[in-house]
Chain A
Amino acid sequence: MDSDDDFNSSQLSDDEIMDDSDVALDDDSDFEMDQDDMGFDSQDKDIKPAKHAYEVDFKVFSPQQIQSHQDKQIEEVSNILGQPPEATAILLRHLRWNKERLIDQYMDKTEETLESAGLGESSESNPPKLEKIAGFVCDICCEDGPELDTFAMRCGHRFCLDCYRQYLFTKIKDEGEAARIRCPGEGCTRIVDSKSLDLLVSESLKDRYHELLTRTYVDDKENLRWCPAPNCVFAVECGVKDKELMKVVPTVHCDCGHYFCFGCSLNDHQPAPCSLVKKWLKKCEDDSETANWISANTKECSKCNSTIEKNGGCNHMTCRKCRHEFCWMCMGVWSEHGTSWYNCNRYEEKSGSEARDAQAKSRQSLERYLHYYNRYANHEQSAKLDKDIYLKTEKKMTQLQNTSGMSWIEVQFLDSASQALQQCRQTLKWTYAFAYYLARNNLTEIFEDNQKDLEMAVENLSEMFEKPIDQLQGLKVDMLDRTAYCTKRRIILLEDTAQNLRDGMFSFELRKS
């Protein structure tokens, strides 16, 4: 890892924490992991090599780099197609930067391809220019006059310069459009190319335009994604495809310090795959559990649909709302039972027991969910307190420097401990969502053991972290050990889970609501 990276990142990477603490560790397993075939053949030599099964290859790009990538591709395709760069850029954007498809389509049906991209008849090399035309009336502002500067692209829809400018300004500034701005002419689908645009608009708007073009480039490219951190301008490249997301959790680390999932842009959610995370979040959000409880304990009045909880032993129910009287057993009208009540009972015996089974099952599934949810929420809560912890840590570090005469560098162990805690809790949180959907097999036990070990390690460290200042100094070595142990446990869990996930050793019960 590049040392600049580390300097900029707000969280320590695993490797760094490991490096700090290698002394205390047996590094054999790590060594083996390094030898593993990662399954993703790196096509770009600059991409930093993945070290663990749970890490993926990725590369971070600055806006300038993204721009030069575009330029390079445009130049390359421009040479193949024999089209000027502006037209090539439009064509590439039109086909969402799929070079191969563009070249195929172009070679196959040149005119149609140009037409569909809004380039109309082949764009020769006479550059766009302003003209003054006698007898012209602008269809937008209704101005006329022989001195009026006008502009039209090859489609011939001519407007005055001011209107054309204003149109482009509205599109770019207000609507954030760039790659697909169409000619202002009624019904015309021709795209305004960048050369025409450069002729028409002011410098500052040009900058915005090119910024937006760069945006669409990243949006269109399957292997590029913007870092979702606020105000971050970097994009990350990663080769993991959508269809692989059930087998890989591609966490990437932006140069701004943010860890996020390349698959779904959410914060790092290893070891749980994106689809599970999505389902889980929806489940927790939906408040579907209230509904679950209701279905486990109540029935609806057959007349007014009010939800009714049976709180007494008698089957003769009277709805409080509509006064409808019915039998809890068969949901039929009570008056119809009359003396034949026992028939109802006998008839319903089988389905009644089925209903009871169904209710017990529902109750069970609710308790199961709550088990996982409570643990998930607990770690999430702790993760939310991360900021507090971090602030407290800083304070403790200063205090420790003052009281013990330790140097800044000597109190860094608290910072490392705090960050390790944050990271481990984040992982733990997602292990519970993961476990909720995990179908039992031989491997789940190992997973649960790993989870248990990590949780214990985290709790041990967390406990020590709360100790009063005067004791902390003496605990330094111990704390370093425990921090290293936490990190190590986390890596083991992630490594093992990622490996099994990739090998398809896990199965999930995704139909669970």
Chain B
Amino acid sequence: MSTGAKKRIMKEYAECAADTPAGMKIIFDEQNMTKWEVLLDGPDQSIYAGGHFKLEITFPNEYPFKPPVVSFKTKIYHPNVSNDDKGSMCLGLLRPDEWKPPNKVVSVLRLIQTLLIEPDIDDSIEPSIANEYKENRKEFDKNAKDWVKRYAK
């Protein structure tokens, strides 16, 4: 990784640390600055309220010319998070063709928070969960809460 990229990550962390979005904690290791651990509380107005989610943000070598990679380490029942051990997300800013180098990680974190409150059904990674969200909201809410209880407490 280039020194430019390192400098940029450092700067972004300093900004994040000074003004961390509510409901978030960032664990930063200077020895391994390309992997951030983020502890995210389920937003109060969402069905994930009360849950605590661990996320990993990985910065690729080409950062910031390629987007950071987000993965949920805590299982979550959500149309935009893959239901496997990767827990990956791939939408909006996080897609290589949408990402622009001036974009910041903090916008990615904000995007994730927004998605917990309102999933993006049209760009889902788990079509069956998206479908349930659309067709059978009750069942979706029940499942999502169930998973929060099971995995995110």
Q: Enumerate chain A interface residues (CB-CB to B < 8 A).
A: 139-143, 159, 162-163, 166-167, 169-170, 174-175, 177, 182, 184-188
When C-beta atoms are compared, the residue in chain B nearest to A141 turns out to be B4
A166, A170, A186: the one within 8 Å of B102 (CB)? A186
Q: With contacts defined as CB atoms under 8 Å apart, how many contacts are there between chain A and chain B in the complex?
A: 44
Per the bound structure, the CA–CA distance linking A177 and B96 in Å amounts to 11
Residues of B within 8 A of A159 (CB): 101-102
B7, B62, B103: the one within 8 Å of A174 (CB)? B62
> Given contacts A169-B65, A175-B97, A185-B100, could you give 12 more A-B pairs where the C-beta distance is less than 8 Å?
A140-B8, A141-B5, A143-B7, A159-B101, A163-B4, A167-B101, A170-B62, A170-B65, A174-B62, A174-B66, A184-B100, A185-B102
Would you give 8 A-B contacts (Cβ < 8 Å), ordered by A? A140-B64, A163-B4, A170-B62, A170-B65, A174-B62, A184-B102, A185-B102, A187-B100
Q: Mark B88-101, 1 if CB is under 8 A from A, else 0.
A: 00000000110011
Residues of B within 8 A of A186 (CB): 100, 102-103
Determine whether the beta carbon of B64 is less than 8 Å from that of A170.
Answer: no
When C-beta atoms are compared, the residue in chain B nearest to A166 turns out to be B65
Per the bound structure, the CA–CA distance linking A177 and B7 in Å amounts to 28
Q: How large is the interface on B (under 10, 10 to 19, 20 to 34, 35 or more residues)?
A: 10 to 19
Tell me whether B11 is interfacial, beta carbon within 8 Å: yes
Distance of A424 from chain B, by nearest CB (Å): 46
B66, B96, B97, B102: the one within 8 Å of A140 (CB)? B102
Distance of B63 from chain A, by nearest CB (Å): 10
Residues of A within 8 A of B62 (CB): 170, 174
Q: Which of B56-101 contact A (CB under 8 A)?
A: 62, 64-66, 96-97, 100-101
Per the bound structure, the CA–CA distance linking A13 and B64 in Å amounts to 54
Distance of B105 from chain A, by nearest CB (Å): 13
Distance of A216 from chain B, by nearest CB (Å): 15
Residues of A within 8 A of B103 (CB): 186
Per the bound structure, the CA–CA distance linking A475 and B101 in Å amounts to 73
Residues of B within 8 A of A174 (CB): 62, 66
Determine whether the beta carbon of B65 is less than 8 Å from that of A141.
Answer: no
Determine whether the beta carbon of B4 is less than 8 Å from that of A175.
Answer: no
Determine whether the beta carbon of A141 is less than 8 Å from that of B102.
Answer: no
Per the bound structure, the CA–CA distance linking A163 and B4 in Å amounts to 9
Per the bound structure, the CA–CA distance linking A472 and B101 in Å amounts to 71
Distance of B34 from chain A, by nearest CB (Å): 16
Per the bound structure, the CA–CA distance linking A259 and B5 in Å amounts to 49
Distance of A251 from chain B, by nearest CB (Å): 36
Determine whether the beta carbon of B101 is less than 8 Å from that of A184.
Answer: yes
A141, A162, A184, A185: the one within 8 Å of B8 (CB)? A141
Residues of B within 8 A of A140 (CB): 8, 64, 101-102
Distance of B62 from chain A, by nearest CB (Å): 6
When C-beta atoms are compared, the residue in chain A nearest to B10 turns out to be A142
Per the bound structure, the CA–CA distance linking A354 and B11 in Å amounts to 76
Per the bound structure, the CA–CA distance linking A178 and B66 in Å amounts to 17
Determine whether the beta carbon of A141 is less than 8 Å from that of B7.
Answer: yes
Determine whether the beta carbon of B7 is less than 8 Å from that of A142.
Answer: yes
When C-beta atoms are compared, the residue in chain B nearest to A157 turns out to be B102
Distance of B70 from chain A, by nearest CB (Å): 19
Residues of A within 8 A of B97 (CB): 175, 177
Distance of A410 from chain B, by nearest CB (Å): 61
Q: Mark B1-24, 1 if CB is under 8 A from A, else 0.
A: 000110110010000000000000
Per the bound structure, the CA–CA distance linking A177 and B4 in Å amounts to 24
